[in-house]
Structure 1
Amino acid sequence: MSKPVILADLQAAFPGWTIWRSSTGRLWATRNRRLTGAQMEQGLEQTVSDEDVHQLVEQLRHQDRLAAEAG
């Protein structure tokens, strides 16, 4: 049996995001600040989602890396 996803743990790990689970069970994360058009052109996304917690975490890590590179 897999460990249940604790949203508070995800939120603590990614404080720049608001994370929730929809009524369909999909996990969503949206940034706590608005992106500029230039940032979005660099591959940053305002909101990401996935059905799998591990995939969502990978997306969030990738987005955080892109944000760090963008400055």
Structure 2
Amino acid sequence: MSPTTTFQDLQAAFPHWTIWRSSADRLWATRNQRLTDAQLSHGLSHTIDADDADQLVAQLRNQEKLATGLLPQ
């Protein structure tokens, strides 16, 4: 994670996700809600992971785009 990006920054930017770093030093994010089979089929994910904060943010933004119209705001 960049020195200016903290877990609090990520959590504030993506409040519908819980974000953490694993013992393997990867960043993970899990949705704070269950997804239906239809939402999963549309490409939404319960949990995603990345090597760094920039990759995680890109994936989270992609998930937000995919979720448009499928999830309550």
Unaligned runs of 5+ in 1: none
Q: Report the AA paired with residue 61 of structure 2.
A: R
What is aligned with 1:63?
63
Deviation at 1:58, TM superposition (A): 0.4
What is aligned with 1:7?
7
Percent identity over paired residues: 57
| Local SS of the residue matching 2:44 | coil
The runs of 4+ residues in structure 1 deviating greater than 3 Å are: none
Unaligned runs of 5+ in 2: none
Q: Report the AA paired with residue 57 of structure 2.
A: V
Aligned residues: 70
Distance 2:58 2:39 in 1: 19
TM-score, length-normalised on structure 2? 0.87
Distance 1:69 1:57 in 2: 20
Q: Report the AA paired with residue 55 of structure 2.
A: Q
Considering fraction of residues, name the structure with more helix: 1
Deviation at 1:53, TM superposition (A): 1.0
| CA root-mean-square deviation | 1.4
TM-score, length-normalised on structure 1? 0.90
